[in-house]
Amino acid sequence: MAKGVLVDLTKCVGCGGCTVACKLWNDMKFDDNNPTVGDKAKLSGKNWTVVHAHQVKNKDGETVWRFNKQQCLHCLEPACASACFAKALQKTKDGPVIYYPHLCVGCRYCMIACPFNIPKYEWDKTFPLVSKCQMCSTKIARGEAPACVSVCPQGVFKFGERDELLKEAKAIIAKDDKYIKEIYGEKEVGGTSWMYISDIPFKDLGFKTGLGTTPLPTYSHNFLRYTPFVAVGWGIILTGLYHYTKRRNTISKETNIKG
């Protein structure tokens, strides 16, 4: 069954331990130009996860700090994987959307396709690759939680079956008044493996909102499914027209000669 992670943003203190764990487990260099924690935190070819700091007003009008951990959301129907023309991005049945470098051509269509702007590119390399969170797929395959999840000192994350996490999240936000009544990732573009609950509207924390519930691959599919019919039908029409007009021209020439 598909795994997922539930993130409770009310518990995060912004320590950034998760971003360090990600670097260590995945053997990634620190990015001098882009920090992993703070208000200048930015995903990059070297940063698979970052923690954004936001100063916002809560329900009572008080100014508070909130932190938003950003990484690939591992969509249930990933736009990047459907956009990749060489199958370099694939969704596994465990949940992670994995990148296979040896298949990648470097067209960067996945970057255009992703509604969350997650895939990044190694612009400084001669043979650059796409770079994004893999949800520690090798750990998940062994039944372990992703590196970032396992090190959190605050208990921000819960790792498990997505379906069960969703039920749990619904129970939490129903019980406790401080939460906004919405689970980010439940339905966004068809649902994601990572889900968030929060006491501050997601829009104020830099989340992309208004994405709708339609999985993005649907749009391409609705167009592409006509391709075989158009190819064959158009071929038949053209062949017919070719012979018809050729014959018509021959007849009109013959008529002219006789007349």
Partner 1 sequence: MAAQQGWSFRMTPIRKLLILLATICVGVSIFRLATGLGLVTNLNDEWPWGLWIGFDVLTGVALAGGGYFTAIIVHVLHRDQFHPIARGAMLTSLLGYLLVLAGLFLDVGQWFNFWRPFVSWGHTSVLFEVFWCISCYTTVQVLEFGEIFTERVGKKWHNAFKAAMPVLMIIGIIFPTLHQSSLGGLYLIAVHKLYPLWWSTLIPYFFLISSFFVGPAMICVESTLAGNAYNHKVPIEVLRGLGRIGGWFMLLYLVLKIYDLSNRGVWDLVFAGNLEGNLFLLEMILGVIVPIFIIFSGMSKSRSGLFIYGLLVSGGVVLNRMNVVFTGMSGTSGGSYFPSIWEWSVSIGLVSIGVLVYCFIVENFNILDHGDHHSA
Q: Which residues bind partner 1 (CB under 8 A)?
A: 43-45, 79, 81-88, 103-109, 111-113, 115, 117, 120-129, 208, 210-212, 216-217, 219-224, 227, 230-231, 234-235, 238-239, 241-242, 245-246, 248-249
Distance CA 27, CA 80 (A): 24
Distance CA 173, CA 183 (A): 9
Minimum CB distance to partner 1 smaller for 201 or for 240 = 240
Shortest gap between Cβ of 190 and partner 1 (angstroms)? 12
Shortest gap between Cβ of 254 and partner 1 (angstroms)? 15
Shortest gap between Cβ of 18 and partner 1 (angstroms)? 21
- Six-digit token pair at 42? 């930015």
Q: Are 24 and 38 contacting, i.e. CB atoms less than 8 angstroms apart?
A: no
HSE (side-chain half, CA atoms, 13 Å) at 105: 8
Minimum CB distance to partner 1 smaller for 64 or for 237 = 237
Shortest gap between Cβ of 171 and partner 1 (angstroms)? 30
DSSP class of residue 192 equals: B
Beta bridge partners of 161: 3
> In 3D, which of 77, 120, 122 has the Cα closest to residue 214?
77
Minimum CB distance to partner 1 smaller for 87 or for 178 = 87
Minimum CB distance to partner 1 smaller for 58 or for 249 = 249
